[in-house]
Structure 1
């Protein structure tokens, strides 16, 4: 199964920021930054399965994540290196701010 993921060169900063404007999506990005590639169900962000799926779709369509099928599971990974190349420092800043807001230690870069 193939999932539509944009070429990051075609993604605008506004699209990335819009995807990151929701606290649930920021929580998902934080989870993926810590865990690495994970199944969608592994990210417990306190919303229903359908809502979680919607948030994963928004992140994928914005170019922030990559999704691949493995059997009946959908594995999602943060496109950290690609996003860093296109928007240097953006994810580091977003993750640091999210961690500070949550009162936690920084996520490894």
Structure 2
């Protein structure tokens, strides 16, 4: 079995507003974040992403959101678990997510 790789996530204080707004400016990424507001999900279960979209494109979407500090992408067995970093974003930018979502 291949070990899961931990990905780098920015600390709460390192989350930058411009990066968050850029990450949420793409309709497909915004749809993904809207799904995650109901709770974490397996990366393989992201239903708003067209199944015909290449895996590399999906991975890039996850990367943009993770590097901006919008989502956490963590190992979960042989899969990845995605979750919205709502607490961190609400503390850093109060009301932002509610306004956008």
> How far apart, in 2, do the equivalents of 1:70 and 1:11 lie?
24
Task: Determine whether 1:14 maps to 2:14.
Answer: no
Q: Tell me the CA shift for residue 8 of structure 1.
A: 2.2
Work out the CA distance in 1 between the residues paired with 2:81 and 2:46.
11
Corresponding pairs, count: 94
Correspondent of 2:45 among 42, 45, 51: 42
Higher relative contact order, chain-length normalized (CA < 8 Å, sep 6+): 2
Equivalences for 1:81-100 in 2 at 5 Å?
81-95=87-101
Tell me the distance in 1 between the aligned counterparts of 2:33 and 2:54. 17
Unaligned runs of 5+ in 1: 96-109
The answer to whether the aligner puts 1:24 opposite 2:28 as a matched pair is yes
Runs of 4+ in 1 over 4 A off after TM superposition: none
The aligned runs of 1:43-58 (5 Å cut-off) are 43-44=46-47, 45-46=49-50, 47-58=53-64
Q: Is the 8 A contact 1:40 1:53 kept in 2?
A: no
Give the distance between the partners of 2:40 and 2:15, measured in 1 at CA.
Answer: 22
TM-score, structure 2 length as denominator?
0.87
Secondary structure (helix, strand or coil) at the match of 2:6 reads coil
Q: Where do 5+ consecutive residues of structure 2 fail to align?
A: none
TM-score by length of structure 1 reads: 0.81
The two structures, once aligned, show a CA RMSD in angstroms of: 1.0
Distance apart, 1:23 and its partner CA: 0.5
